[in-house]
Structure 1
Amino acid sequence: MSGAALALDAPKERAILSITGKIVEKNAGDKARFDMRMIEALPQHSFTTSTPWFDKPVKFTGPLLSDVLAAVKASGSQISAVAINDYKISIPMGDVGKYKVIVARQIDDKSIPVREKGPLFVVYPFDSAAELRTSTYYERSIWQLKALDVQ
């Protein structure tokens, strides 16, 4: 995973994502902190999908959740994802390998402001499989992501 090694330099700007729990690579005490440049340094992926939150299909761009977790050498069976407003949801680690879940930093090639679900938004490729178009997976697509705790 080229680019992942760059991800654990200390953040040079304001950190927007913290990862704790069962991780090996850390850059801030017991956690790994990422600023937007570090997120951008990871391999970027895009997909266009329909969602319940937008009137038409939109393009999401960002690193795969699997690449973010690989950058910190995460291991475990569950990921607790926390939003800026403290909304919390559990994402099974199995989803990370089975689906191309993105930690989106852009919607339709534009940065995502906080007031529009940003700056980071965990998104499943809903249009890629019928089983993803259910409330279970919609609930796991957490916007305004600020933290991941791997257990």
Structure 2
Amino acid sequence: MPFSTFRAGLIAALLGLPLGLQAEPGPPAGEVLLTVTGLPDGTPARLDRAALAALSEDAFTTTTIWTDGPQRFEGVSLHDLLAALEVTPPAEAVLRVSAVNDYAVDIPLSDARDVDGPIVAHLHNGAPLPRRGNGPLWIVYPYDADPDWRTEVAYARSVWQLDRIELVDPAR
């Protein structure tokens, strides 16, 4: 399966090529922050900060159990990330999200809502998330937007120092 339009455009943008040109896959220009595997074409997506910032930005302010007072988070929603990667997984598939320290948890696709769903945050109160401060990526739910997000289950799915997402299809 050929590279998707998104991937070709993303690679072209990162390499400074016009969008009409086809680019062979190559390493991102910056440090890879997120690797997404289990994609239909079998090719992992490796995203650096610029690639993540190029995706549709989502932001919200919420309280968390790890911080004091309302906090602003900005990033790409899980819903928009899957759409950008042109992933239409079956309903029984899950997202296995993993951190730098190998903490991993499965997130059902039902969590990847179009509205009021979790985001892959790369900014916290307007600043990049440092590795020592739960970054560079953190899956954050809008905890104040829905009582379903204020549960131990949602808190366990709020992976900080996120570096990998694997689409797991039990039917494969």
Normalization by structure 2: what TM-score?
Answer: 0.78
Root-mean-square deviation (Å): 1.7
Query: Residue 8 of structure 1 contacts residue 34 of structure 1 at CA under 8 Å; is this kept in 2?
Result: no
Provide the identity percentage: 35
Query: Residue 50 of structure 1 contacts residue 56 of structure 1 at CA under 8 Å; is this kept in 2?
Result: yes
Amino acid at match of 2:47: F
Larger relative contact order (Cα-Cα within 8 Å, sequence gap ≥ 6): 1
Out of 113, 136, 142, the residue aligned to residue 153 of structure 2 is 136
Aligned to 1:5: 6
Out of 63, 71, 80, the residue aligned to residue 58 of structure 1 is 71
Normalization by structure 1: what TM-score?
Answer: 0.88
Out of 44, 50, 61, the residue aligned to residue 48 of structure 1 is 61
SS of the aligned residue for 1:97 comes to: coil
Amino acid at match of 1:80: R
Out of 53, 71, 89, the residue aligned to residue 84 of structure 2 is 71
Q: Gaps (5+ residues) in structure 2?
A: 12-25
SS of the aligned residue for 1:131 comes to: helix
Aligned to 1:31: 44
Aligned to 2:16: none
SS of the aligned residue for 1:146 comes to: strand
SS of the aligned residue for 2:95 comes to: strand
Query: Residue 8 of structure 1 contacts residue 32 of structure 1 at CA under 8 Å; is this kept in 2?
Result: no
Q: How many residues align?
A: 144
Amino acid at match of 1:93: L
Displaced runs of 4 or more, over 3 A: none
Amino acid at match of 1:82: S
Q: Gaps (5+ residues) in structure 1?
A: none
Aligned to 2:140: 123
